[in-house]
Structure 1
């Protein structure tokens, strides 16, 4: 199983699957964007095997580019793992304190955020496409964790996965203004006079949201691989029929 493993130690494993022409549907992991659901299930089972767990340990959401998040409990185990209609509805971020659950997030160009708390064992994933970013889903999740779950932001560590690069993230004025209205994204945008398009660095904007939520800059790591330019990437902008990467994190049993 070709996977970018971002973290693998005694207590945590986290990573992101990558495109692989030798696998079924190029190692696509998404039931909502596939040709043959059975092939996706097979790909997911192979990922589960590589993580030394079962597919029924996966927890998936029906992502809608929202700013909604969900605290995962053992009752959610297996949701969305083999069929879409059991996935957690209308949710783009998941977090849990439970061990041996694989929290999943799907993306092709959108920014995947994987995080963990070294002190209390909390883990989570966030799906932040440009719509999620302008809705500030990442900031809202970390604000919630601070205020409701009583996390110290200094205990949080963040891995931002590969996504569409600023070079390839071209937008018109309407999207540019949505980012500009955030008040902190100006440094992450430029205008291309030849194409009359704006270019936005969604990863850096998400990173800034993490920092604004109090997470130390040196606790934030970015995979700068571009899903459009790299052969290992699924890119919706490049191919509307593209598959999806699966970003994941699991806390191993104590």
Structure 2
């Protein structure tokens, strides 16, 4: 489990990551219900609203005000206090986002498909930037302060992909050819961090840098685990 808070100008951000040592594998319960039950059990807060999505390896991003029980996508955000955003991963990259200036948090599930579609770039340019400008009614922000938490995921040393997947990332240098013909190691989080820095060179990026594949702490799809890691973020008032 990873559990910590970050102070901001408007309150504090709470981040929680739960893995193998913390969770019971889902017994077939609807994933949204499983997330709500699990997070409520850890937070011990019956008043919080908990949001998750039917994840489909896309670039679809939702405001919590629009989310329904069958909403499909891989990114969600809010500017409301006491709303918890949850994403599930087993090797993909979990990204939690917050503003230091105004109430704003987001959560992104980014596998190679979502990364190739540019979900993080879309989140920054179409969601974060526009939302923060909307919150800043007098448009005084010229350089918003933003933070990113990249949770446990499969690291490049363990992430072997075929040439058709690697082809999307070769030019950037984040897919490295192996000795085995047609096989590559893909550094998804390295690629994502490079895109973050393209938009916000001074952004705070916290990267757990722990591979799900060989860690006893986290579920891994490639290891055959059926469970999923849960990564959560919420805004709390001081």
TM-score normalised by L of structure 1: 0.80
User: Which residue is 1:29 aligned to?
Assistant: none
User: Which residue is 1:65 aligned to?
Assistant: 57
Q: Give the C-alpha shift of residue 44 in structure 1.
A: 5.0
- In terms of fraction of residues, the more helix-rich structure is 1
Give the root-mean-square deviation of aligned CA atoms: 2.6
User: Which residue is 1:24 aligned to?
Assistant: 24
What is the number of residues matched between the two proteins?
Answer: 227
Cα distance in 2 for residues equivalent to 1:122 and 1:130: 26
Q: Give the C-alpha shift of residue 98 in structure 1.
A: 0.3
Cα distance in 2 for residues equivalent to 1:244 and 1:44: 14
Aligned pairs (5 A) from 1:40-189 = 44-54=36-46, 57-73=49-65, 76=67, 86-87=69-70, 89-151=71-133, 154-180=144-170, 183=171, 185-186=172-173, 188-189=174-175
Cα distance in 2 for residues equivalent to 1:63 and 1:55: 25
The answer to which of 189-198 and 114-123 deviates more is 189-198
Q: Give the C-alpha shift of residue 166 in structure 1.
A: 0.6
Q: Give the C-alpha shift of residue 179 in structure 1.
A: 1.7
Asked if 1:192 corresponds to 2:182, the answer is: no
**Any idea what SS the aligned residue of 2:147 has?**
strand
For the Cα contact (< 8 Å) 1:45–1:54, is it kept in 2?
A: no
**Any idea what SS the aligned residue of 2:131 has?**
coil
User: Which residue is 1:28 aligned to?
Assistant: none
Of residues 187, 199, 222, the one that matches 1:201 is 187
